[in-house]
Amino acid sequence: MPNFIMTDDFPKNQAEFDKRFNNEQACYNYLLSLRWPQGFVCQRCGNDRHWQSATALFICTRCEHQHSVTAGTIMHGTRKPLLLWFKAMWWFTTRKSGVNAINLQDLLGFGSYNTAWLWLQKLRSCTVCKGREKLTGTVEAEMGAFVRHSIFSTKILEFQTRSQIGLRRFPRYRSRWPNRGAVG
């Protein structure tokens, strides 16, 4: 998978995003500049001369190896426009409350929930660093709460903006089974 390096010129807000990536060609040119910042170089033979096919593939003039700007990315082989992918990535990374498959389906106008769900899985796979270590020490996070239910109690991990995660335990007063009393 190619190493794309984010640059400082990436949009800071929705208005900048809409202005910068307002059509398919703008998205394509952005990916092209990330893949080959100094111009095309064949991965197989190192040649810098190419021709471009009608399907936007870069074909090396020496070894005729085909290259695509989306090869090795989550967009590889997609039939959807790059503009939709860019919008999905923007919403995925900038929405404070996150985005779920139903939101993404509505935002992008997909006819299928499954497509939106698959795209989110691909986007989420990009956020995982292989070989990562578990968090230690003081952990800061944005607003939110995680709830974990068990048979005996409900544990709520709650935290406020930029504060430490704290653990509180709340007893369950109703049993799931008729012959058991309240568990505290």
| 10-39 pLDDT tens trace | 788 899 999 999 999 999 999 998 888 888
Q: What is the pLDDT of residues 95-116, one digit of tens each?
A: 888 899 999 999 999 999 999 9
Task: Please tell me whether residue 102 adopts helix, strand or coil conformation.
Answer: helix
Question: How far, in Å, CA of 33 to CA of 2, rounded?
Answer: 13
Judged against a pLDDT cut of 60, whether residue 169 lies above it is answered with no
Judged against a pLDDT cut of 60, whether residue 159 lies above it is answered with no
Higher pLDDT, 86 or 134: 86
Higher pLDDT, 119 or 128: 119
Rounded to two decimals, the pTM is 0.67
Question: How far, in Å, CA of 85 to CA of 21, rounded?
Answer: 11
Least confident of 33-42, 68-77, 148-157: 148-157
What is the predicted pLDDT for the residue at 132? 76
